[in-house]
Every structure is written in structure tokens, then in C-alpha cells.
């Protein structure tokens, strides 16, 4: 049995100021050798002794962020193949350029050590701040903390004690989708959910269950199947729902956790001889351009992906690295009606 060692808290200017019994602004000016600072030598020595005692190391990346010297931000995503991230990147890039920064984007897909490698390189002062749209392990989160690099999780909540994230209201989006199906008269509504470890999948599943509960409908295990946010994963998950339906009846509608999986869902239904929406209605989260070109055009819930990327940059540049951030972007979430949903056949 191994014991996980707790991460050592990073020493801050506030810690040094408390030990030296001075204001943190004095500590900052001593560290930066401000020629305009006029203090007694005794005070200066006390600050230097406190720095040595606590082992304080100036946060170079954070200092660059405040002075806009480097002018580069990093964004790490799980996969370039997912079109959702293209929208987030677009919003983040625009916001970064508006604030005099260049956005550098990388993907961790195809590399076991992708995140570790990015943290190693980016933590060397190559960027002023880091946006993370993919999952981080406890070890990676600890390393991120130790680097002293300003960071922000994008559309996922971190698992550490120090929360810094900006997310979308996925539960609300799911409720909009399910409430639309309920308003059409559907009662047997299945859910093609995202992967177990995905924070967005958890929030969307919670919204689905809440909407069903409010309508007085019990969600059974057979009503939910999980995919991996790809079209192939959606096809397999829909196949599982249809297999389960042999005992409990085919759902008259399906809420899909994202558009990519909805592509696979539509294909599986077609291969099974089921018509959309005559036999099964389908609605999915995210209104990507491809949604209106599917057969039939897909009803979706549009979410502010570009605004999410832009807001993440704003928060990264405006909030102190030590400050906790827990923000939900809930504007511009709306149902987009197309031809994949209709009332159930009586």
C-alpha cells in the first residue's frame, strides 16, 4: 500500500510579508530591486532573511503575466479531431489577441506523456499562463501547482483543493434537450452519455436525470448507455440501448451527450430500420456546423463555446494566480430546432 504525499503549498509573497512583518508590496519591491524604494536597511535585511527562511522563489511566469512581457498563452486540449475544441480555440485566440497575447495550442492525444511534457516545457517560462481543456491526474495537478504557473481549467473542474475553472452550464443544456422531448409527448427517453471520467458527461447526465425526475419518470439502468464522445462510441452506445430495449421496449427518443456521438446514433438507428424522427427522436448537445447537414438535420442545444474560450483567457489574465475561480458561463444556451425531433407515434 502506498501513501500519497500531500503537495507542499507554494510559498507566496503574503507568507514572506507576514514573517518579515511588512506589507507584501514592500517584499515585491525588494525582490525587484526597486531603486525608488526607501526603507531602513534593517527592514530590507528582515525581508531577505524571510525569503531565505521560507525558500521563496519568485513566480517568473506570473510576473510576466502581470507585465505582459512574454505575450504568449498556452492551451492544451485532448484532441484536435474534436470540432468542439476548434470553437473553444477560436474564442480563446481572439480574446488573447485582443489583449496583446499569442495563443499556442497543443494536444495530448497520441502520447502517454503528453501532459507531463507540456507542463515541463511550458513551466520553463515559455508561456505566461496555461489553459487546460483536458483531464489532469493528481500527479499532474501537483506538478502544475509546484510550477507557480498561472493556469485555468476550461470546461472541466479540476480535482485538487485549489479550484480554478470556467465551465459551461451542461446540466442546463441537458435539461433543455430533455424538456423539449417531454414537451413533444415522449416518456421513454434514453440517454447516450459521455465517458465515465468526463466532467462534462457527468454534468449532462445529471441534467438528464433531473429533467426526468421532475417529469415523474424513473430512469432505469437500461435507459443509459455510455460512449466515448466519438461517432463510433455513439453507434455502439445506441446499439446497447436497442439491445436493452428487447426487454423494456425501444425508446421513442434519445438525448445524446454530444454531436459526434449523435452521428453514430443516427447511423445505428438507420441500420436497425428505425426512422428518425418517425420512430425515434434524437437531440444532442452542441450546435456544430455539421448538425444541420446530417440526415435528418439534427436538433441540438447550442452552447457558447467561443465565449467559453474567450472568458477563460480573460480570467487567466485578470485574476491573481493564487485566487480561486469557479465560474459558469450560462449565456446564449438555446435549443435549435431541426428535423430530428417530433411527437411520438400514438
Q: For domain 13-58, give the fold.
A: 434 Repressor (Amino-terminal Domain) (1.10.260)
Q: Angle at which helices 114-121 and 138-147 pack, to 10 degrees?
A: 0
Please state, as a whole number, how many other Cβ atoms lie within 10 Å of the Cβ of residue 100.
9
- pLDDT on residue 56: 83
Q: Which residues contact 76 (CB under 8 A, 6 or more apart)?
A: 105, 106, 107, 108, 115, 118, 130, 131, 132, 133, 134
CATH for 70-168+306-329? 3.40.50.2300
Q: Would you say the CATH fold of 170-302 matches that of 13-58?
A: no
Residue 63 C-alpha cell reads as 510576473
Residue 18 has φ and ψ, to the nearest 5°, of -65, -45
Cell numbers 427518443 correspond to 253
Cα-Cα end-to-end distance for the chain = 59
- With H, G, I as helix, E, B as strand and everything else as coil, classify residue 153: strand
Measured CA to CA, the distance from residue 322 to residue 173 in angstroms comes to 31
pTM, whole model, 2 decimals?
0.76
Residue 167 C-alpha cell reads as 465551465
Handedness of CA 233, 236, 242, 243 (dihedral sign): negative
Measured CA to CA, the distance from residue 26 to residue 16 in angstroms comes to 10
- pLDDT on residue 2: 47
Count of alpha carbons within 13 Å of 284, Cβ hemisphere only? 30
Residue 300 C-alpha cell reads as 441540438
Nearest to 173 by CA among 328, 326, 37, 311: 328
- pLDDT on residue 1: 47
Residue ranges for the chain with pLDDT beneath 70: 1-9, 33, 35, 58-70, 110-125, 135-148, 158-162
Measured CA to CA, the distance from residue 269 to residue 342 in angstroms comes to 16
Count of alpha carbons within 13 Å of 160, Cβ hemisphere only? 25
- pLDDT on residue 4: 47
Measured CA to CA, the distance from residue 343 to residue 300 in angstroms comes to 16
- pLDDT on residue 162: 64
Q: Are 58 and 317 in contact (CB under 8 A)?
A: no
- pLDDT on residue 223: 95
Domain boundaries in the chain?
13-58, 70-168+306-329, 170-302
Q: Are 62 and 32 in contact (CB under 8 A)?
A: no
Measured CA to CA, the distance from residue 285 to residue 176 in angstroms comes to 10
Q: What kind of architecture, by CATH, is found in domain 170-302?
A: 3-Layer(aba) Sandwich (3.40)
Q: Are 108 and 51 in contact (CB under 8 A)?
A: no
Q: Are 43 and 29 in contact (CB under 8 A)?
A: no
Amino acid at each position: 500500500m502506498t501513501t500519497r504525499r500531500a503537495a507542499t503549498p507554494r510559498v507566496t509573497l503574503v507568507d514572506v510579508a507576514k514573517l518579515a512583518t511588512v506589507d507584501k508590496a514592500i517584499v515585491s519591491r525588494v525582490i525587484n530591486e526597486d531603486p525608488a524604494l526607501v526603507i531602513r536597511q534593517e527592514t530590507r535585511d528582515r525581508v531577505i532573511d524571510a525569503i531565505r527562511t521560507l525558500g521563496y522563489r519568485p513566480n517568473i511566469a506570473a510576473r510576466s503575466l502581470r507585465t505582459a512581457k512574454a505575450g504568449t498563452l498556452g492551451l492544451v486540449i485532448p484532441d484536435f479531431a474534436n470540432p468542439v475544441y476548434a470553437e473553444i480555440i477560436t474564442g480563446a485566440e481572439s480574446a488573447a489577441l485582443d489583449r496583446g497575447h499569442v495563443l499556442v495550442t497543443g494536444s495530448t492525444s497520441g502520447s502517454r506523456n503528453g501532459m507531463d511534457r507540456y507542463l515541463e516545457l511550458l513551466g520553463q517560462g515559455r508561456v505566461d499562463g496555461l489553459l487546460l481543456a483536458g483531464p489532469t491526474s493528481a500527479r499532474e495537478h501537483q506538478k502544475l501547482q509546484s510550477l507557480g504557473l498561472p493556469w485555468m481549467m476550461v470546461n472541466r473542474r479540476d480535482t485538487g483543493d485549489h479550484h480554478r475553472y470556467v465551465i459551461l452550464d451542461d446540466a442546463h443544456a441537458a435539461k433543455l434537450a430533455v424538456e423539449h422531448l417531454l414537451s413533444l409527448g415522449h416518456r421513454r427517453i434514453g440517454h447516450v452519455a459521455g465517458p465515465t471520467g468526463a466532467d462534462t458527461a457527468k454534468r449532462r447526465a445529471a441534467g438528464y436525470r433531473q429533467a426526468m425526475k421532475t417529469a415523474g419518470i424513473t430512469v432505469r439502468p437500461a435507459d443509459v448507455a455510455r460512449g466515448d464522445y466519438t461517432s463510433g462510441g455513439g453507434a455502439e452506445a445506441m446499439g446497447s440501448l436497442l439491445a436493452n430495449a428487447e426487454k423494456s421496449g425501444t425508446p421513442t427518443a434519445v438525448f445524446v451527450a454530444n454531436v459526434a456521438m449523435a452521428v453514430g446514433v443516427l447511423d445505428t438507428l438507420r441500420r436497425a430500420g428505425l426512422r428518425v424522427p418517425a420512430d425515434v427522436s434524437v437531440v444532442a448537445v452542441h450546435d456544430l456546423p455539421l448538425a444541420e447537414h446530417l440526415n435528418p438535420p439534427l436538433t441540438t442545444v447550442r452552447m457558447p463555446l467561443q465565449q467559453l474560450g474567450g472568458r477563460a483567457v480573460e480570467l487567466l489574465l485578470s485574476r491573481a494566480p493564487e485566487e480561486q475561480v469557479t465560474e459558469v458561463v450560462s449565456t446564449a444556451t438555446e435549443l435549435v430546432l431541426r428535423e430530428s425531433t417530433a411527437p411520438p407515434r400514438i
